[in-house]
Amino acid sequence: MATEIERKFLVKGDEYREQAQGRRYRQAYLSTDKERVVRVRVVDQEAWLTIKGRTRGVSRAEFEYPIPVEDAIDMLENLCQQPVIDKTRYRLPLGDHVWEIDEFHGVNDGLVVAEIELEDEDQPFEKPDWLGDEVSGDPRYFNANLIAHPYRDWSE
């Protein structure tokens, strides 16, 4: 079984943009059940179907499979829960890891989150200056939850 160990942080400023190219991602969910999340994602002319298990700490089972982009677009438009998550992702190598910084658009405009995948939950990693508060344990920041509770609707 594949396991995803991921920590998530808010981002301060936009310094990361100078160090990485962004790519547009469109993704939506066939299921957002707490026990299993099923996602469809399109990036350029590539697409994937991803199944993720229940999050325990910062870990969860994850399985990802390439699918035809035409099928993925059809699923995004006709089968998936709406709205589609629209974001620009920047990948930034730092030390032994790669940070993924997501700038959200549409109903989640203004939200910027950085993620790092680790081999072990307690693995040390370098923290860049633009890294803000950790939100790994806050389900509001899970992409699957941004459909039902978009960032624009959050109250301070």
Q: Which residues are catalytic?
A: 29
| Cα 41 to Cα 27: distance, rounded to the nearest angstrom | 4
In 3D, which of 84, 96, 95 has the Cα closest to residue 30?
A: 84
Range list of H helices, 40-138: 69-78
Q: For residue 43, what are its two tokens?
A: 């990036």
The one-character DSSP state at 56 is B
